[in-house]
């Protein structure tokens, strides 16, 4: 009966959900006139000289990141950006940004009063644009406030939004930016803060009848609340009669390309499409340069991609209608396939399982391949030391069969070898441990990318590794596939034995089998006799021998011996040529040819 074991941390799969967002065509609306106050301290000098008023009526103003009281003052690491671009943090409007007014001039439409006649102001725009929605960037100084916003179109009509709430500049929701700090104009005392003050984003949805009308200006009237309204900028989800495409599931994927496609209503007069992709999920704007402009048809294969990389992509329409170009579609994503690697290659498991390695495989046998997806191989400290940096499987009870599969290798050039360090310790310990009576760990190779497997080495109760690091090395004679994959297979078998241990693997390498000068220097030499032999092969000097493997001409290990043996019983082997590799206690090894008569 097995004793009760310490609670193990079981691997868990985290599920991620992605939300879909409508395609949007965001544009900033630079202000031509209408700001009434400079409330942003910037550049070198007193805040009183670089601002005209405060934000809150108490003496506090915003501060830009280039503000320094004197030329020798320490630069600040917070504040509003010097270029005046505010990239909105609101999740529902990725890619939306605002353009602040001149930091050296008035940059706020500041309204303190609720009294008609002194409670409003108008911001006029340099370039009128039609819009589906308008976004206002504002904040309330020393409290919340309520404003009415009137959108004025170039045809002299307007649309009014009543009761638009503006939060106090500390602690409100729907903020576009936060943690920008402030400064006391009266004494230049800076107040850094990681979450406050804040600028807020309000959305104004334009009626369908007005969406084609260019917006000339916006009038804001403060109608309630004790806070002081500060209006800083507007942006638009610009109107277009050229509809953005709807992305379809990604088609053929390779390690360096991806086939993307899209659909569009038949009523849309699209003449071509632009495709933009990136390794970051930052939505493109109307000024973003596409990677592949002028694509005809509804399918395109994106070329020249990197293997095993996550990409995001967008598509927009180019039309023959009035607005000519749509906004970008909602984002799509794909991950390119793993490309084969031409050695030399080293993986030290500093990341687990490693790029293009697979740990979530379980069940089955080398003859059947994996049948499940449980990740029994996990990251662990090599031989029980530390908490990471190697691969390990814990074998302690029946039903645990796990695979750790490598990325694919192109070995078509031939003359390669595979090496790694391995060992066994008791669970949660650095002490030695035996393996169970029917426990097995195999090292496998596949010449067809993982469809069929060949066992290169086996560890079991008879030749269980020690708790000292041991290097395994195998010349890959006969394994010259352009799609070679290796795997570590561990199973606890059907017998519920007492041993509770971890098998470790580290420093996995595939490299040239041709030894360099530095590798040849100092290598011990061993001799065997008689050669040719009949049944028994003798080792000339076995005092420093740790173990011996005997391989055939296909590279398969046919016999393994451990300990300082003087003679090897090879009577069960067929006649022919064999490679006898002798491993010494200092970590070196020597391979000699031997012929059985």
Domain-terminating residue out of 482, 514, 546: 514
- Does one domain contain both 441 and 377? yes
- Does one domain contain both 61 and 192? yes
- Does one domain contain both 353 and 389? yes
| CATH number of the domain within which 559 lies | 2.60.40.1930
Q: Is residue 64 situated within a structural domain? A: yes
Could you give the CA distance from residue 66 to residue 75 in angstroms, rounded to a whole number?
7
Sequence-distant (6+) residues with CB within 8 A of 419 are: 471, 472, 473, 474, 507, 508, 509, 510, 511
| CATH number of the domain within which 431 lies | 2.60.120.260
Distance of CA 31 to the CA centre of its chain: 39
Note down pLDDT in tens along the chain; length 597 residues: 343 344 343 333 322 222 233 467 899 999 999 999 999 999 999 999 999 999 999 999 999 999 999 999 999 999 999 999 999 999 999 889 999 999 999 999 999 999 999 999 999 999 999 999 999 999 999 999 999 999 999 999 999 999 999 999 999 999 999 999 999 999 999 999 999 999 999 999 999 999 999 999 999 999 999 999 999 999 999 988 898 999 999 999 998 999 999 999 888 889 999 999 999 998 898 889 999 999 999 999 999 998 888 999 999 999 998 878 898 999 999 999 888 999 999 999 999 999 899 999 999 999 999 999 999 999 999 999 998 999 999 999 999 999 999 999 999 988 899 999 999 999 999 999 999 999 999 999 999 999 999 999 999 999 999 999 999 999 998 898 999 999 999 999 999 999 999 999 999 999 998 744 334 444 456 678 888 888 898 887 767 788 888 887 666 778 888 877 888 888 888 888 888 888 877 767 777 878 888
Closest CA to 487 of 579, 420, 427: 420
- Does one domain contain both 203 and 259? no
Q: How far from 252 is each of 256, 260, 512, CA to CA, in Å?
A: 11, 8, 34
N- to C-terminal Cα separation, the chain = 49
- Does one domain contain both 396 and 498? yes
Closest CA to 261 of 279, 244, 249: 249
Q: Is residue 248 situated within a structural domain? A: no
Contact between residue 67 and residue 198 where contact means Cβ atoms under 8 Å apart: no
Per-residue pLDDT, 573 = 87
Q: How far from 129 is each of 108, 126, 237, CA to CA, in Å?
A: 21, 10, 9
Domain-terminating residue out of 487, 514, 541: 514
| CATH number of the domain within which 123 lies | 2.60.120
Contact between residue 171 and residue 188 where contact means Cβ atoms under 8 Å apart: no
Sequence-distant (6+) residues with CB within 8 A of 342 are: 409, 410, 413
Could you give the CA distance from residue 80 to residue 402 in angstroms, rounded to a whole number?
53
Sequence-distant (6+) residues with CB within 8 A of 63 are: 40, 41, 42, 47, 76, 78, 79, 80, 180, 181, 182, 183, 190
Q: Is residue 282 situated within a structural domain? A: yes
- In this structure, the number of other CB atoms found within 10 A of the CB of residue 569 comes to 12
Total number of domains in the chain: 4
Could you give the CA distance from residue 435 to residue 443 in angstroms, rounded to a whole number?
16
- Does one domain contain both 527 and 508? no
Residue 496: DSSP 8-state:
-
Distance of CA 123 to the CA centre of its chain: 42
Per-residue pLDDT, 33 = 98
Cis amide bond preceding 197, omega within 30: yes
Q: How far from 110 is each of 21, 106, 121, 132, CA to CA, in Å?
A: 34, 10, 8, 26
Please state the φ and ψ torsions of residue 336, each to the nearest 5 degrees.
-65, 155
DSSP letters spanning 305-366: PPTT-EEEEEEEEEESSTT-B--PPPPEEEEPPPPPBPSPEEE--SSSS-TT-EEEEESSBT
Could you give the CA distance from residue 256 to residue 270 in angstroms, rounded to a whole number?
29
- Does one domain contain both 210 and 145? yes
- Does one domain contain both 390 and 459? yes
- Does one domain contain both 230 and 279? no
Residue 544: DSSP 8-state:
T
Domain-terminating residue out of 458, 488, 514: 514
Contact between residue 147 and residue 108 where contact means Cβ atoms under 8 Å apart: no
pTM score: 0.54
Q: Is residue 18 situated within a structural domain? A: no
Beta pairing partners, 358: 405
Closest CA to 494 of 365, 391, 375, 361: 365
Place of tokens 């004494």: 187
Per-residue pLDDT, 16 = 29
Residue 57: DSSP 8-state:
S
- In this structure, the number of other CB atoms found within 10 A of the CB of residue 117 comes to 6
> Can you tell me whether residue 390 is helix, strand or coil?
strand
Closest CA to 85 of 97, 101, 103: 97
- Does one domain contain both 195 and 52? yes
Q: Is residue 246 situated within a structural domain? A: no
Q: Is residue 3 situated within a structural domain? A: no
> Can you tell me whether residue 499 is helix, strand or coil?
coil
Could you give the CA distance from residue 22 to residue 328 in angstroms, rounded to a whole number?
9
Contact between residue 585 and residue 468 where contact means Cβ atoms under 8 Å apart: no
- Does one domain contain both 386 and 534? no
| CATH number of the domain within which 328 lies | 2.60.40.10
- Does one domain contain both 205 and 92? yes
Q: Is residue 469 situated within a structural domain? A: yes
Q: Is residue 2 situated within a structural domain? A: no
Domain that holds residue 316: 253-335
């Amino acid at each position: 009966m097995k004793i009760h074991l310490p609670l193990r941390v079981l691997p868990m799969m985290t599920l991620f959900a992605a939300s879909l967002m409508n395609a949007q065509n965001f544009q900033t609306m630079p202000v031509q006139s209408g700001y009434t106050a400079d409330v942003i301290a910037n550049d070198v000098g007193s805040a009183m000289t670089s601002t005209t008023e405060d934000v809150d009526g108490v003496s506090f103003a915003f501060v830009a990141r280039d503000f320094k009281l004197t030329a020798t003052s320490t630069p600040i690491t917070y504040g509003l950006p010097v270029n005046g671009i505010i990239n909105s943090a609101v999740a529902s409007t990725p890619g939306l940004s605002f353009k602040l007014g001149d930091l050296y001039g008035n940059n706020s439409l500041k309204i303190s009063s609720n009294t008609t006649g002194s409670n409003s102001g108008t911001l006029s725009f340099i370039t009128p644009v039609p819009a589906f929605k308008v976004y206002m960037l504002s904040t309330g100084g020393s409290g919340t406030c309520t404003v009415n916003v009137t959108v004025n179109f170039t045809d002299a009509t307007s649309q009014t939004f009543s009761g638009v709430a503006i939060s106090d500049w500390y602690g409100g929701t729907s903020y576009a930016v936060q943690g920008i700090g402030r400064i006391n104009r009266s004494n230049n005392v800076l107040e850094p803060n990681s979450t406050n003050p804040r600028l807020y984003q309000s959305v104004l949805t334009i009626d369908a009848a007005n969406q084609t009308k260019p917006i000339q200006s916006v009038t804001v009237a403060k109608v309630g609340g004790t806070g002081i309204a500060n209006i800083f900028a507007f942006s638009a989800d610009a109107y277009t009669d050229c509809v953005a495409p709807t992305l379809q599931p990604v088609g053929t994927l390779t390690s360096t390309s991806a086939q993307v496609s899209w659909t569009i209503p038949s009523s849309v007069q699209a003449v071509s499409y632009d495709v933009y992709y990136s390794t970051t999920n930052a939505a493109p704007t109307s000024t973003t340069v596409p990677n592949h402009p002028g694509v005809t048809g509804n399918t395109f294969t994106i070329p020249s991609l990197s293997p095993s990389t996550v990409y995001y992509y967008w598509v927009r329409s180019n039309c023959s209608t009035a607005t000519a170009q749509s906004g970008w579609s909602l984002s799509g994503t794909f991950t390119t396939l793993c490309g084969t690697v031409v050695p030399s290659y080293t993986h030290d498991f500093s990341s687990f399982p490693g790029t293009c390695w697979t740990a979530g495989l379980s069940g089955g046998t080398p003859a059947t391949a994996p049948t499940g997806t449980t990740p029994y191989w996990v990251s662990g400290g090599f031989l029980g030391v530390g908490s990471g940096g190697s691969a390990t499987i814990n074998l302690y009870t029946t039903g645990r069969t796990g695979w750790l599969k490598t990325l694919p290798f192109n070995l078509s050039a031939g003359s390669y070898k595979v090496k790694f360090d391995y060992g066994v310790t008791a669970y949660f310990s650095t002490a030695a441990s035996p393996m169970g009576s029917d426990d097995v760990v195999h090292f496998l190779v596949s010449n067809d990318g993982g469809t069929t497997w060949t066992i290169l080495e086996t560890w079991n109760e008879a030749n269980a590794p020690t708790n000292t690091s041991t290097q395994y090395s195998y010349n890959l004679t006969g394994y010259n596939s352009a799609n070679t994959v290796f795997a570590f297979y561990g199973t606890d078998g059907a017998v519920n034995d007492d041993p509770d241990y971890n098998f470790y693997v580290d420093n996995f390498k595939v490299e040239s089998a041709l030894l360099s000068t530095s590798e040849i220097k100092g290598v011990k030499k061993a001799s065997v006799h008689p050669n040719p032999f009949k049944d028994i092969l003798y080792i000339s000097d076995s005092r420093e021998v740790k173990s011996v493997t005997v391989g055939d001409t296909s590279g398969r290990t046919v016999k393994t011996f451990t300990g300082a043996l003087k003679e090897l019983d090879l009577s069960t082997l067929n006649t022919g040529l064999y490679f006898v590799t002798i491993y010494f206690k200092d970590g070196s090894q020597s391979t000699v040819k031997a012929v059985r008569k």
